[in-house]
């Protein structure tokens, strides 16, 4: 499809929603406040596509910063459907990836003494060792270094600009700890994950020519899920957009800010909407959920919003399932009663999700589903594929190509090659290097078509024929090769963990598998029916949430995210006479 035709159709489709239409056509700084199910990703991708076609002249392009790699893949897929393919003109990735590939890698060598030559990103064990060495240097042998580092990391994420008095004016001993830790990393030629946006900020702050170079390449900056991205991203936005002239298009929802433990702060998004030089557009129409679920969700949130459903849409259902017993009995009730009831009402397993607060609760659900012979696919941190790992997601995408995707270009081979080049060369390879890597990748992929391999056997070849070849030549400072060994362990056939390759690849449509996910991992997703498990007074909110007003508000937002995932039915499972206090508010609003 021609990109002009695809973009024109997408813009025409937005005419039915004036807020979406206005946002996609805005040519100044713009913040889109998008509630659940309001079509924010559709609005964002259409705005990006229109900007590339109408506003930005080749070879200039746009950058889009996302919360995680999964969001980036979703945006790339949607843009491809509009005829906009991934290219040098369009960066889509996390703030860490943007900092590393667009700022640090191209420009750090121009700044004497900034970073060691051929630096790389430290492994977790190397970070822990650096914390212990720095702690002993600053504090001696007293106390647990890793407990104290939790407080240091919070300061490190919050106090981005170290020239401000607050850096040493508040908790100066933590500033010493952080600086000693970073010095130890540099002594070993390392940076860590959180270094990336911090170093990029200092480079852009101190060197206006880097700002000019970024503005020349990316005159427009898009940011998805702004409320989740924290202080470093916010400071970068202030520098690039309001001091350097890059146009900002940000999308977010403070009500869905649930990553406070990583430094996210919904007040940063709200501060943008207070600026006179930014147009704020609110998307109020919920295309996902029935009216009853929308009303109930406001009970979960505990605040009023002017969201409304689509006229003529279904009303939605709320069902409540009290159980006499704690988690294990609640999980058994889901497997023996709740799921069969939903199936009896016409839902398919692949249309159903079971959501819970933490992965250990998922382990309890898994045990009950296995006893009931109910098939499932898991997407939390105990899943086979680590959603935050680019290498794991690349392996998953390759498996998807092998198990049928090659027939319909899903995923396109060009995207796989781009991912491989990024993994090995950081995206910057010579033509000869790119051609050689493409030959290796294509030979491996073709050899797997109709080979009948299990996931473990295929991963073994993946590690042997690709990763072992690429690792010695890699110039990417952020290497994740150990992820391959972890995936092989998780599919060990001697432990009964192996599976068909199409299951690993995610090609399970129509195969009848219920989705298991934490609230955090389910953010941005939707299902016909959602079962919320463990909605007990001691679980949500738990004792940690009750320690501060900020923590309690975030727990409530987390509950709200779970409640807003279903299209047609929401089921709440909890211990009888011991349910979350928010269940009663949800019930009252949903009537």
- Mark the binding-site residues, compressed into ranges: 34-41
Q: Tokens 């004036």 identify what position?
A: 18
For residues 414 and 417, what is the distance between their CA atoms, to the nearest angstrom?
5
Q: How far is CA 460 from CA 150, 455, 500, 513, 540, in A?
A: 37, 8, 14, 26, 41
- The neighbouring-strand residues paired with 575 are 323
Q: Are 178 and 170 in contact (CB under 8 A)?
A: no
For residues 226 and 33, what is the distance between their CA atoms, to the nearest angstrom?
10
Backbone angles phi, psi at 484, to 5 degrees: -60, -45
Backbone angles phi, psi at 574, to 5 degrees: -155, 170
Tokens representing residue 578 in the block: 């011991």
- Give 170's contacts (C-beta < 8 A, 6+ positions apart): 155, 159
For residues 240 and 248, what is the distance between their CA atoms, to the nearest angstrom?
9
Q: Is 434 exposed, middle or buried (0-12, 13-18, 19+ CB in 10 A)?
A: middle
Q: How far is CA 137 from CA 145, 187, 568, in A?
A: 11, 14, 58
Q: Are 281 and 31 in contact (CB under 8 A)?
A: yes
Q: Is 107 helix (H, G, I), strand (E, B) or coil?
A: helix
Q: Give Cα 262 distance to the centre of its chain.
A: 12
The helix/strand count (H/E) of the chain reads as 29, 16
For residues 297 and 566, what is the distance between their CA atoms, to the nearest angstrom?
11
CB neighbourhood size of 551 (10 A) = 16
Binding-site residues for ATP sit at: 34-41
For residues 53 and 68, what is the distance between their CA atoms, to the nearest angstrom?
26
Tokens representing residue 36 in the block: 């659940």
For residues 566 and 194, what is the distance between their CA atoms, to the nearest angstrom?
34
Q: Tokens 């009252």 identify what position?
A: 588
Q: How far is CA 271 from CA 57, 238, 252, 426, in A?
A: 31, 11, 12, 34
């Amino acid at each position: 499809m021609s990109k002009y035709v695809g973009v024109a159709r997408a813009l025409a489709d937005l005419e039915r929603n004036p807020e979406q239409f206005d946002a996609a056509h805005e040519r100044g700084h713009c913040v889109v406040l998008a509630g659940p199910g309001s079509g924010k990703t559709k609005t964002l991708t259409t705005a990006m596509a229109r900007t590339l076609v109408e506003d930005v002249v080749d070879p200039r392009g746009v950058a889009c910063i996302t919360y995680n790699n999964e969001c980036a893949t979703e945006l790339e897929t949607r843009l491809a459907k509009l005829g906009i393919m991934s290219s040098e003109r369009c960066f889509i990735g996390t703030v860490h990836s943007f900092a590393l590939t667009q700022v640090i890698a191209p420009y750090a060598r121009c700044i004497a003494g900034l970073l060691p030559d051929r630096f790389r990103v430290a492994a977790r064990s190397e970070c822990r060792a650096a914390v212990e060495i720095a702690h002993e240097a600053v504090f001696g042998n007293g106390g647990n270094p890793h407990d104290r580092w939790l407080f240091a990391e919070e300061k490190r994420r919050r106090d981005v600009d170290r020239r401000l008095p607050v850096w040493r004016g508040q908790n100066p001993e933590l500033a010493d700890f952080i600086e000693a830790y970073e010095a130890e990393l540099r002594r070993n030629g390392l940076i860590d994950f959180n270094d990336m946006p911090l170093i990029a900020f200092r480079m852009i702050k101190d060197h206006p020519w880097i700002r000019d170079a970024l503005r020349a390449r990316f005159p427009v900056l898009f940011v998805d899920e702004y409320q989740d991205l924290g202080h470093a991203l916010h400071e970068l936005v202030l520098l690039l957009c309001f001091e350097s002239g890059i146009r900002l298009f940000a999308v977010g929802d403070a009500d869905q800010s649930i990553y406070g433990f990583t430094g996210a702060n919904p007040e940063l998004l709200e501060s943008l909407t207070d600026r006179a030089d930014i147009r704020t557009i609110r998307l109020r129409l919920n295309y996902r959920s029935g009216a009853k679920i929308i009303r109930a969700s406001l009970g979960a949130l505990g605040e009023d919003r002017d969201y409304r459903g689509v006229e003529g849409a279904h009303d939605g259902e709320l069902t409540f399932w009290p159980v006499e017993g704690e988690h294990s009995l609640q999980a058994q009730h889901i497997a023996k009663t709740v799921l069969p009831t939903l199936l009896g009402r016409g839902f398919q397993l692949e249309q159903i999700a079971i959501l819970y607060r933490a992965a250990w609760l998922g382990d309890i659900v898994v045990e009950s589903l296995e006893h009931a012979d109910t098939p499932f696919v898991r997407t939390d941190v105990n899943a086979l594929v680590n959603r935050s790992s680019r290498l794991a997601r690349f392996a998953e995408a390759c498996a998807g190509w092998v198990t049928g995707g090659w027939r319909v270009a899903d995923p396109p081979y060009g995207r796989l090659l781009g991912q491989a080049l990024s993994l090995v060369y950081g995206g910057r390879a010579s033509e000869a290097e790119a051609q050689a890597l493409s030959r290796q990748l294509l030979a491996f992929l073709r050899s797997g078509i109709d080979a009948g391999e299990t996931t473990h056997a295929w991963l073994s070849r993946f590690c042997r024929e690709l990763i072992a070849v690429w690792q010695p030549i890699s110039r990417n400072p952020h290497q994740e090769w150990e992820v391959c060994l972890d995936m092989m362990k998780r599919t060990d056939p001697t432990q009964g963990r192996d599976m068909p390759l199409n299951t690993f690849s995610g090609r399970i449509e129509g195969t009848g598998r219920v989705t298991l996910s934490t609230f955090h991992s389910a953010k941005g997703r939707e299902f016909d029916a959602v079962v919320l498990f463990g909605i007990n007074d001691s679980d949500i909110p738990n004792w940690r949430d009750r320690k501060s007003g900020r923590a309690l508000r975030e727990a409530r937002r987390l509950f709200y995210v779970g409640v807003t995932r279903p299209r047609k039915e929401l089921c709440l499972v909890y211990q009888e006479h011991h349910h979350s206090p928010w269940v009663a508010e949800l019930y009252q609003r949903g009537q």
